[in-house]
Structure 1
């Protein structure tokens, strides 16, 4: 019997009862709204899933920016068909219009009503308060999509103020930061470079918003998702921004708006090989000790540190990293 199976209790059951780390999602959320790009995104998702042995990024089909004015209903029907046609083990979400937009109700009826069972999530933009979340939940329930997780976009100073209340709602699974609208909402008080790859990490109001959203998400065991980098042709800028989001701002997921951004995000959010080896060693020892405290290389570990190192392994798996043989049993199936 392998060390990984020496305890009958799976690490998730022991270590993730606390809110921290309760939700694990792919670290990259890729957005597209034009039909040709949506189809290419879904094809790329399937190709990379075969390459990595797991679905390593979400595809979110976009109605808010993707639907032509006057063609919202037709676009909703299109994304519904695309979602239904995706392979069952692929993660596909949809961004609908804001709750106060005339097309919101139609989006939900068409998309969630027909494909809610197939979607990984529904993204609701421009959420200002928990009341907007309630409106979205009521619409989903009326459409028969009672179990569909909600992802929300925080895009204004008022929304940032309410971030903790929004994150506390049980249907909310992830909070995303909408950088462009956030900067625009300040009426010119934040300069344009606050939307850039560098300025968004230095302007105090933008930095404060990012930290508030990340903190609110972690407070309730939800996933904070970092905003886009519009300079998609600058791979170095993209990689640097992703590393800052992951290592300095507490984000565990990030948006992609161009296929070239997906791999840099996966690389930036993936643990290093040394971290994976150490995490495997500690979790294997903990499992062998029935999750009692253990001493490894002169350092005492208990469930508090076990939780951290298990999250390292979860993130390694979510980013398609190779795991040591001792860890294979923990990820043998999604139902483990």
Structure 2
């Protein structure tokens, strides 16, 4: 009988928590979309690309913009199937057209649909239901994951309910709109570093979103860094988001930000090696308790080390040979 893999034994039949590439890069114009797809072809599927129908579209030309976006989804330049789309928000007249155009005209379904400016569970549930019904209407067999952008008081209050919605894969934090929604009660210094990590209300919002995601096996995605020259600032933002706030993904708005974000969220070589050693020993012990050095391990710690390998694999890191079969299963 073949040895059981971590995925088969560590989750008691439940779905594994979602794991996504650690960087979500935004592009709105045709020129920037082509550049982003070329960079993805060069680096591999270690970052996602979100084609923006919201901020990218000119007023009055929403249909034409959605058609342009649809032409890239699943096309020849979409080599890895890791291209998503951001539609207009629930209050905008164009969001249903965005969904219909993209699902009808794209050569393949998008990797995900980002729903911006969510204000309540009702908003999100209605859009998700519309995407599902449109998918069925156009004969798309596989469900399309939804990512929700939280930047309002209402959405933050509903964060745990939003993360629990079927079809939701990720929650993102919209920092600048969230700060602005406080009408000057939070200083503008909280829109950038280091203030964004220090102000209590902003810290609370980041933590609530991350906690809601982890409670329901979803991916917390950190807000953008507005710094586009000093990549050390971007790297620091990403490291703090990961190490202090529990985020596993972050937005990018400039191509130069992609590499430092990806690097910050990639487990270190020594973490990967340790995880592999512990999990291989656990497999040899039929997933019973084991000892590594002076530390005892059981299924609780095995789940942690399995998450390390899954995150490493999502960032394109080569797996130790003995573990490669776990990801081919």
- In 2, are the aligned partners of 1:129 and 1:165 still within 8 Å (CA)? no
Specify the alignment match of 1:52 in structure 2. none
Specify the alignment match of 2:126 in structure 1. 135
Specify the alignment match of 2:71 in structure 1. 81
- 1:88: Cα distance to partner? 5.0
Does the alignment pair 1:96 with 2:87? yes
Report the number of matched residues: 323
- In 1, are the aligned partners of 2:213 and 2:219 still within 8 Å (CA)? yes
- 1:184: Cα distance to partner? 1.1
RMSD: 1.7
- In 2, are the aligned partners of 1:178 and 1:227 still within 8 Å (CA)? yes
Q: Which of 230, 249, 256 is the aligned partner of 1:253? A: 249
Q: 1:265-290: CA deviations, max 9, x gaps?
A: 11111111111111000011111111
Specify the alignment match of 2:283 in structure 1. 287
Aligned in 2, Cα 1:224/1:258: closer, same or farther, shift over 3 Å? same
Q: Which of 47, 52, 55 is the aligned partner of 1:57? A: 47
- Secondary structure of 1:248's aligned partner: helix
- In 2, are the aligned partners of 1:60 and 1:95 still within 8 Å (CA)? yes
Q: 1:47-105: CA deviations, max 9, x gaps?
A: 111xxxxx111000011110011111000000100113144533000000011211111
* Structure 1 range deviating more: 243-252 or 283-292: 283-292
- Secondary structure of 1:251's aligned partner: coil
- In 1, are the aligned partners of 2:109 and 2:144 still within 8 Å (CA)? no
Specify the alignment match of 1:267 in structure 2. 263
Specify the alignment match of 1:12 in structure 2. 7
| Correspondence 1:1-336 to 2 at 5 A | 7-17=2-12, 22-49=17-44, 55-85=45-75, 86-87=77-78, 89-115=80-106, 117-144=108-135, 147-331=143-327, 333=328, 336=329
Q: Matches of 1:20 and 1:214 in 2, distance apart? A: 19
- 1:8: Cα distance to partner? 3.1
- 1:17: Cα distance to partner? 4.5
Aligned in 2, Cα 1:282/1:148: closer, same or farther, shift over 3 Å? same
- In 2, are the aligned partners of 1:45 and 1:90 still within 8 Å (CA)? no
Q: Which runs of 5+ in 1 are unaligned?
A: 1-5, 50-54
Aligned in 2, Cα 1:81/1:116: closer, same or farther, shift over 3 Å? closer
